[in-house]
């Protein structure tokens, strides 16, 4: 299966101008599930590979799915106004930031069960246990297909603990909005940038949702992985998908590694080194969906509060903050959320002021803040359909443009199963350990030379 799709997945009975972008240009579909979650007639559902599918007999052409779609028209000016009542978009990669903190959950189960100190879980649990919300919208791996993720409403501490850990494959997260609309109560939500773009549009169009979703936590994102990444990784290790009961993208000691939990309880590591210094960097270069390649929001610019790993290193190149997250407060609402959690003992947080040592990781800013804008502009000039952000074209040196071309070439090769499968089989094998060691040595050398 290739992520480079452009064929609408319906017969054409309905006017495509009234539908979300998947029914006009499939490669622009973010697969956020927003259209499915808000359709008042239930005419949309989640189809193969998590693209939406349409029941044309039920569709009334109301146009709501088009209005909330975050695939094509994602004007940052509009999103900024919807989020902060301000049309001035920050030119800083991290966007509007009022305060920067680093922190971790005081609950040890949450802290050591999460990918980065359990901060997101601690924030949500603080709201839930104190009655500020009736549930929290989060993700988990599916029980029937544990290589795929899904969104669900966590209503207990146990539910939230089960939601911990990162899930990097595409998830139609906002499809859960149909359950929110059908339920009483208020909810907190922890979402990726594309999910939040769709959510902001949905909040604009559906006043009832604004009452039901008072708290929005944003997660940083370097790019999702295609839905077939886990089955292919398992295949390289001669494991059948139906032999596993769970899959962890960042299991074990921080920062974690990709692991399969077998049905007999055995835990199998699927690569060497760890998530940060090996696996994710390999997979994101081969399995990033086409729409993710043109996403410019890596810091979740339009949330109340954004959470990322704290990748800061010391002078020897070692990580300073294991089991911590960096916390960006974007508005007074986000500040109140953080202050409540700290005051009520759910979270430990340290205000970092303007310390540049805690800025977003450079690789993240290159991927989303430079390569993606260059790719969008290059494709636009070539007549290829791209999202509209309403931002000026990226300025870059000749070397930076060449780097983007090289990265895009690797992503292009990822279309072909034979190429990506054999690369991943090699890169996650013991034969690649020397490459990992060279990578780690170069990192340490860089930090000892520059600090």
Question: For the chain, what is the domain count?
Answer: 1
Query: Within a domain: residue 64?
Result: yes
Q: Residue 53 sits in which domain range? A: 16-68
Q: Are 330 and 122 in contact (CB under 8 A)?
A: no
CATH number at residue 62: 3.30.70.20
- pLDDT of the chain, 451 residues: tens digit per residue: 344 455 666 777 888 889 999 999 999 999 999 999 999 999 999 998 999 999 999 999 999 999 999 999 999 999 999 999 998 888 888 899 999 999 999 999 999 988 889 999 999 999 999 999 999 999 999 999 999 999 999 999 999 999 998 899 999 999 999 999 999 999 999 999 999 999 999 999 999 999 999 999 999 998 999 999 999 999 999 999 999 999 999 998 888 899 999 999 999 999 988 777 767 778 988 999 999 999 999 999 999 999 998 877 777 667 777 889 999 999 999 999 999 999 999 999 999 886 666 666 677 787 888 899 999 999 999 999 999 999 988 889 999 999 999 999 999 999 999 999 999 999 999 888 888 788 777 766 666 555 4
Query: Within a domain: residue 59?
Result: yes
Distance set, CA 34 to CA 69, 121, 133, 202, 255 (Å): 7, 23, 22, 8, 31
For 234, phi then psi, to 5°, come to -60, -40
Give dist(CA 119, CA 347) in Å, integer.
7
CA angle (434, 421, 368) in 5-degree steps: 80
CA angle (406, 412, 414) in 5-degree steps: 115
Distance set, CA 159 to CA 96, 149, 248, 252, 401 (Å): 32, 15, 17, 20, 45
Q: Are 38 and 69 in contact (CB under 8 A)?
A: no
Q: Which residue has the tokens 């290589």?
A: 147
Query: Within a domain: residue 27?
Result: yes
Query: Within a domain: residue 286?
Result: no
Query: Within a domain: residue 446?
Result: no
Query: Within a domain: residue 251?
Result: no
CA dihedral 30, 394, 94, 209 (to 10 degrees): -30
User: Which pair of structure tokens corresponds to residue 425?
Assistant: 């089989």
Q: Which residue has the tokens 């008042």?
A: 40
CA dihedral 247, 251, 256, 260 (to 10 degrees): -40
Residue 386, CB-side half-sphere exposure with 13 Å CA sphere: 21
| pTM for this entry | 0.94
Query: Within a domain: residue 203?
Result: no
User: Which pair of structure tokens corresponds to residue 81?
Assistant: 């106004």
For 369, phi then psi, to 5°, come to -90, -15
Query: Within a domain: residue 238?
Result: no
């Amino acid at each position: 299966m290739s992520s480079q799709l452009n064929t609408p997945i319906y017969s054409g009975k309905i006017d495509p101008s009234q539908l979300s972008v998947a029914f006009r240009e499939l490669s622009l579909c973010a697969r956020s599930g927003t259209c499915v979650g808000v359709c008042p007639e239930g005419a949309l559902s989640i189809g193969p590979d998590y693209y939406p599918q349409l029941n044309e007999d039920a569709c009334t052409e109301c146009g709501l799915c088009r209005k909330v779609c975050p695939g094509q028209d994602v004007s940052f000016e509009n999103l900024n106004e919807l989020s902060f009542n301000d049309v001035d978009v920050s030119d800083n990669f991290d966007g509007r930031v009022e305060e920067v903190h680093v922190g971790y959950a005081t609950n040890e189960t949450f802290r050591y069960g999460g990918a980065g100190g359990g901060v997101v879980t601690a924030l949500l649990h603080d709201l839930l246990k104190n009655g500020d919300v009736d549930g929290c919208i989060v993700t988990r791996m599916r029980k029937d297909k544990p290589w795929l993720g899904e969104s669900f409403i966590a209503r207990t501490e146990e539910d939230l603990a089960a939601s911990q850990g990162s899930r990097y494959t595409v998830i139609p997260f906002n499809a859960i909005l149909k359950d929110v609309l059908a339920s009483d109560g208020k909810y907190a939500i922890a979402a990726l940038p594309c999910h939040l773009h769709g959510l902001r549009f949905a909040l604009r169009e559906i006043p009832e949702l604004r009452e039901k979703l008072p708290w929005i936590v944003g997660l940083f994102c370097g790019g999702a992985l295609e839905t077939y990444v886990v089955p292919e990784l398992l295949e390289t290790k001669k494991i059948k998908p139906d032999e596993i009961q769970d899959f962890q993208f960042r299991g074990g000691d921080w920062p974690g590694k990709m692991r399969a939990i077998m049905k007999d309880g055995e835990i199998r590591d699927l690569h060497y080194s760890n998530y940060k210094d090996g696996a994710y960097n390999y997979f994101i270069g081969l399995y990033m969906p086409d729409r993710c390649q043109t996403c410019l929001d890596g810091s979740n610019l339009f949330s109340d509060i954004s959470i990322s790993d704290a990748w800061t290193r010391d002078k020897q190149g070692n990580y300073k903050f294991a089991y911590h997250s960096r916390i960006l407060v974007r508005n007074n609402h986000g500040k109140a959320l953080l202050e409540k959690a700290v005051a009520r003992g759910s979270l430990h947080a340290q205000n970092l002021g303007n310390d540049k040592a805690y800025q977003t990781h450079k690789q993240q800013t290159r991927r989303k803040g430079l390569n993606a804008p260059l790719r969008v502009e290059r494709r636009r000039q070539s007549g290829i359909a791209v999202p509209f952000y309403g931002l000026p074209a990226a300025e870059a040196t000749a070397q930076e443009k060449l780097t983007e071309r090289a990265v895009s070439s690797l992503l292009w090769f990822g279309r072909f199963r034979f190429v990506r499968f054999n690369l991943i089989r090699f890169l996650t094998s013991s034969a690649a350990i020397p490459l990992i060691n060279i990578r780690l040595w170069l990192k340490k050398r860089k930090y000892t030379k520059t600090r």
